[in-house]
Chain A
Amino acid sequence: MTEDPLPCPPVSDFDAELYLRLIGERMLTDRSGENHGAGRPTIAEAAAALIAVEAIDAPSAESVLDDYSFATMLRNESNLRRPGMLRAVPPPGSSETKLLKPRRVVPCARTIDQAQATMQVRYVSLSKESTSVAVTWHPGSSGPWGGGPPRAVLTDDRGTSEAAPFHGGGSNQGMRGRLTTTGPLAPDTAWIELDGTRLELTEEPSRFAATLERLPAQDPAHQYLWQRIAEPSKLNDSRIEPAIEALVAAGALWAADPLLDEVRAVLEALQRGPGPGVVPPSGTIPIPEPWQSLLARDGVQDGPTGSIVLGAVPPAFDGFSVAILDLESDENRFRVDVEVAPAVGRMPFDWGMGPRQLTWWAKDDRDNHYLGQRGHWSFNDDFGHGVIDFHPALDPRATQLELLPTAHTTRAVISFSLPWTRR
Chain B
Amino acid sequence: MSRWWLGLPPAQATITCGDHTHRLRWQAGALHAIDHDDLEAESTLAALAGQRCACVEVVDAWGRHQDDPRVLVLASRGPGDTIATHGDWASQLAALPRAPMAAAASVSPPRARPRQLMRFSARRRASTPPVPRWPGHNRGAPGPITTQTQSETELVALLGLGGGLQDRLVATVAAAWAERYDDPDAALNGTLATLHASMQGRLSAALRSWLGRADATVELDLIDARQAPALTETAGVLRAELPFGWLPAVWSRGLAVVFGRFCLAAGTEDGRTWTLTTVGPDLGTPAPVRVELPSA
* B136: contacting residue among A29, A68, A87, A92, CB under 8 A: A87
* Least Cβ–Cβ distance between A260 and chain B, in angstroms: 23
Proximity bits, B191-209, A CB within 8 Å = 1, else 0: 0111011101100110000
A74 partner, pick from B74, B192, B198, beta carbons under 8 A: B74
Instruction: List A residues 69-102 near B (Cβ within 8 Å).
Output: 70-71, 73-77, 79-80, 82-84, 87, 89-90, 92
A residues less than 8 Å from B194 (CB atoms): 21, 67
Find out whether the CB atom of A83 lies under 8 angstroms from the CB atom of B135: yes
Q: Point out the residues of chain B lying under 8 angstroms from A73, CB to CB.
A: 135-136
A29 contacts B139, CB within 8 Å?
A: no
In the complex, chain A residues whose CB is within 8 Å of the CB of B140? 89, 92
B 122-139 contacts with A by CB, 8 A:
133-139
Binds A, one of B44-52, B78-86, B99-107, B256-264: B78-86
Query: Could you mark each residue 12-44 of chain A with 1 if its beta carbon is under 8 Å from any beta carbon of chain B, else 0?
Result: 000101100110110011000000000000000
Q: How far is the CB of B79 from chain A (nearest CB, A)?
A: 11
Measured CA separation A384–B205 after assembly (Å) = 44
Q: How far is the CA of A77 from the CA of B135 in the complex (A)?
A: 10
The answer to whether the Cβ of B152 comes within 8 Å of any Cβ in the partner chain is yes
Inside 8 A of A87's CB, which chain B residues have their CB? Answer: 136, 138-139
A74 engages B159 (CB within 8 Å): yes
Rounded to whole Å, the gap between the CB of A73 and the closest CB of chain B is: 6
Q: For B80, give the chain A residue with the smallest CB separation.
A: A29
- CB proximity of B120 to chain A, nearest CB, Å: 19
| Contact call A18/B84, Cβ cutoff below 8 A | no
Q: Does B98 contact A (CB under 8 A)?
A: no
Q: Contacts of A75 on B, CB cut-off 8 Å?
A: 81-84
- Nearest to B141 among chain A residues (CB) is A92
Given A70-B74, A87-B138, does the pair A18, B197 have CB atoms closer than 8 Å? yes
Q: With both chains docked as a complex, state the minimum distance between the C-beta of B193 and any C-beta of chain A, in angstroms.
A: 4
CA A22 to CA B189, docked complex, whole Å: 17
B93 to A: closest C-beta gap in Å? 16
* Set of chain A residues within 8 Å of B85, measured between Cβ atoms: 74, 80
Pair A22/B197 contact, Cβ less than 8 Å: yes
Asked if A80 and B84 make an inter-chain contact with CB atoms under 8 angstroms apart, the answer reads yes
Instruction: Give A419 to B193 CA distance when docked, in angstroms.
Output: 59
Asked if B196 and A18 sit within 8 Å, CB to CB, the answer is: yes
Residues in chain A near residue B238, CB distance under 8 A: none
Are B193 and A29 in touch, CB under 8 angstroms? no
Known: A74-B159, A87-B139. A67 touches B83 (CB 8 A): no
Q: Select from chain A the residue with minimum beta-carbon distance to B138.
A: A84
Out of B80, B84, B133, B204, name the residue touching A83 (CB < 8 Å).
B133
Task: Please report the C-alpha to C-alpha distance between residue A341 and residue B140 in the assembled complex, in whole angstroms.
Answer: 20
Q: Distance (Å) between the CB of A333 and the closest chain B CB?
A: 36
Q: Which residues of A contact B8 (CB under 8 A)?
A: none
Residues of B with C-beta under 8 A to A68 = 73
**With an 8 A cutoff between CB atoms, is B249 at the interface?**
no
List B contacts of A77 (CB < 8 A).
84
Chain B residues numbered 54-95 whose CB sits less than 8 Å from any CB in chain A: 70, 73-74, 77, 80-85
Q: How far is the CA of A127 from the CA of B247 in the complex (A)?
A: 63
List, in ascending order, chain B residues with CB within 8 A of A76's CB.
84
In whole angstroms, how far apart are the Cα atoms of A77 and B136 in the complex? 13
* Nearest-Cβ distance from residue B188 to partner chain A, whole angstroms: 14
| Contacting residues, chain A, for B82 (C-beta < 8 A) | 75
Q: Which residues of B contact A22 (CB under 8 A)?
A: 197, 200-201
Does B276 touch A at the CB level, under 8 Å? no
Q: Let me know if B145 is at the binding interface, CB within 8 A.
A: no
Q: What residue in chain B is nearest A78 (Cβ atoms)?
A: B84
Chain A CB within 8 A of B156 CB: yes
Are A67 and B205 in contact (CB-based, < 8 A)?
no
- A18 in contact with B193 (CB, 8 Å): yes
Residues in chain A near residue B196, CB distance under 8 A: 18, 21
Chain A residues with Cβ under 8 A from B201's Cβ? 22, 25, 28-29
Closest to A74 in B: B83
Q: Which residues of B contact A84 (CB under 8 A)?
A: 138
User: Is A79 within 8 A of B197, CB to CB?
Assistant: no
Of A67, A80, A89, the residue contacting B70 (CB under 8 A) is A67
Question: Are A67 and B193 interface neighbours, CB within 8 A?
Answer: no
Chain B min CB distance to A27 (Å): 10
Bound-state CA distance A266–B140 (Å) is 39
Give chain A residues whose Cβ lies under 8 Å from the Cβ of B159. 74
Q: In the complex, which residues of chain B have a beta carbon less than 8 angstroms from the beta carbon of A83? A: 133-138
Q: Are A29 and B81 in contact (CB under 8 A)?
A: yes
Residues of A within 8 A of B73 (CB): 21, 24, 67-68, 70-71
Contacts of A80 in B (CB 8 A): 84-85, 135
The distance in angstroms between the C-alpha atoms of A271 and B196, with both chains bound, is: 38
The complex places the Cα of A15 from the Cα of B135 at a distance, in Å, of 31
- The docked-state distance in angstroms from the alpha carbon of A24 to that of B198 is 9
In whole angstroms, what is the CA distance A385 to B117 when docked? 44
With the chains together, A89 CA to B140 CA distance in Å?
A: 8
B136 touches A70 (CB 8 A): yes
Please report the C-alpha to C-alpha distance between residue A119 and residue B192 in the assembled complex, in whole angstroms: 61
Q: How far is the CA of A71 from the CA of B159 in the complex (A)?
A: 11
Q: List 14 A-B contacts (CB under 8 A).
A: A18-B193, A25-B197, A28-B201, A29-B80, A29-B81, A70-B73, A70-B74, A70-B152, A74-B85, A76-B84, A82-B135, A83-B137, A87-B139, A90-B139
Residues of chain B touching chain A, judged by Cβ–Cβ distance below 8 Å, are 70, 73-74, 77, 80-85, 133-141, 152, 156, 159, 192-194, 196-198, 200-201, 204-205
Q: 9 more A-B contacts (CB under 8 A) besides A67-B70, A74-B84?
A: A25-B77, A25-B197, A25-B204, A29-B201, A74-B156, A75-B82, A80-B135, A83-B133, A83-B138
